[in-house]
Amino acid sequence: MKAKHQRLTLGVVALASLVGAGLLAASALRDQAAYFYSPADLARSPVDPGQRIRLGGMVADKSIRRAADGVTIDFVVADGPSTTKVRFRGIPPDLFKEKSGVVAEGAFGPDGVFVADTILAKHDERYMPPELERGGDGQRHKTGTLKP
């Protein structure tokens, strides 16, 4: 076999390996990916019940309702005029409250309610941990960009 053919064979094998690795990575990502939607996105293009997604938006004012069992929470995620009802069973994060950002991961049930199994509370750039907000020790971290 000539050197030219050996290089060509090596190049074809390398290209086939790269394509194979890319296909494996894409396959693994498809199984684990949960695409992000806002309520406005869901109004434009609904997703099938059971398809895992991430839902993000603001928790609507006066929408948090706690069930009698103490661990089930119903609330509404809003994105402008679009809203989505969400049900979560578990302990929400400390920053979870009305009029704050939230990302919920889960799927729509057959009744059209988004059933979240994970809730991530978002905070704005002005967030300060309670220990630092209480201050008192005179060692607050000062930044030039945060406004009280």
127 is in an annotated binding site: yes
123 is in an annotated binding site: yes
DSSP codes joined into one string, the chain: --HHHHHHHHHHHHHHHHHHHHHHHHHHHHHH--EEE-HHHHHHS---TT--EEEEEEEPTT--EE-TTSSEEEEEEEETTEEEEEEEESPPPTT--TTSEEEEEEEE-TTS-EEEEEEEE---TT---HHHHH--SS-PPP-SS---
User: Are 103 and 77 in contact, with CB atoms under 8 Å apart?
Assistant: no
CA-CA distance, 67 to 70, in Å (whole number)?
A: 6
Task: Give the residue ranges of the annotated binding site.
Answer: 123, 127
Task: Give the residue ranges of the annotated binding site for heme.
Answer: 123, 127
